Amino acid sequence: YDISQSGSIDVLVFLDNSFSMVAKDVQPSRQELAKSAALNLAEKGILRPGDRVTVFVFGGIARWRMPLSEDLEDFKPKVAEVSQPAVYQEESQLDTDFSYLLDYAAKSMDKQDNFSKSNRETLHLKPYFNSRIAFLFSDGNDESDRPLEKSLREFSQRKIKIYGVGIGTAGGETISITAYDSRDPQKPPEKITVKSKLQMKALEKIAQATEGEIFALDSEYKQSQLESFMRGAVNANRSALPRLIYSDKGRDIWWEVLSWSAAVTFFLMIWLAI
């Protein structure tokens, strides 16, 4: 084990996978910028040994792609594989529901905590809980009629701060996609054209209610600023208390064996001489 001097943190990554994320008002696209920003957690050293990360992909519904884990090599492909279909077969990616996402994520974290607590109690170990934050990557287009207040209270009670990252431009872009009609799947797919703009209102509401902050990624040139924003958010929420974490450093066992052998031989020679 090593001692984590600055404590550890859990980071929840929420990736908007609704169709409006295909917009290219920021290059190469809103979706690709969101994925690149999320991958910075692993590739830019924002997360450290002992930290854990999890991924939720959402649109009209949410999907939990991986549990909280220290395995950043598992995290990277989970983010990289997020994509948009050539033809939308069902409606889960045709709208966005922040309320559903927050409810689902809160319940998912409770399930993992209960599972971990049960396992540690079985081994007679004390449970521990890292500080937790979430990064919400989205263009802010929330089509749900359900109010956010109840979902935000759930996150506030769990002390999970949400940092909203809005991706897109105020001018937006006209998007065309091809989708089947969920009310009549037998009909051939139709072309849908809409104008999508960056909307920060919902993201700001979510961040304020959970004591987080917001950042507008309205240009690919602001990616370095976003990296600093994310690094600052992670470090500001690290626990001040250190704890033991698994070490990835190897030990030179053979050197230890030879050292002990030499010491025994040395004392044996002294004893014989006496």
222: left (phi over 0), alpha (psi -120 to 50) or beta: alpha
Q: How far apart, in whole angstroms, are the C-alpha atoms of residue 123 and residue 241?
A: 23
Q: CB under 8 Å to 55, separation ≥6 — which residues?
A: 13, 15, 38, 64, 65, 66, 75, 78, 79
3-state secondary structure of 30: helix
* Single pTM value for the model: 0.83
The pLDDT assigned to 58 comes to 97
The pLDDT assigned to 115 comes to 78
Nearest-CA neighbor of 216 among 164, 143, 162, 161?
164
Q: How far apart, in whole angstroms, are the C-alpha atoms of residue 155 and residue 101?
A: 11
Instruction: Please report, for residues 18, 60, 71, 88, 152, the alpha-carbon distance to residue 189 in angstroms, rounded to integers and kept in the order given.
Output: 18, 19, 40, 8, 37
Q: pLDDT averaged over consecutive 10-residue blocks of the chain (274 residues)?
A: 67 97 96 97 94 96 95 96 92 92 95 76 59 96 88 91 97 94 82 94 96 95 95 90 54 51 65 66
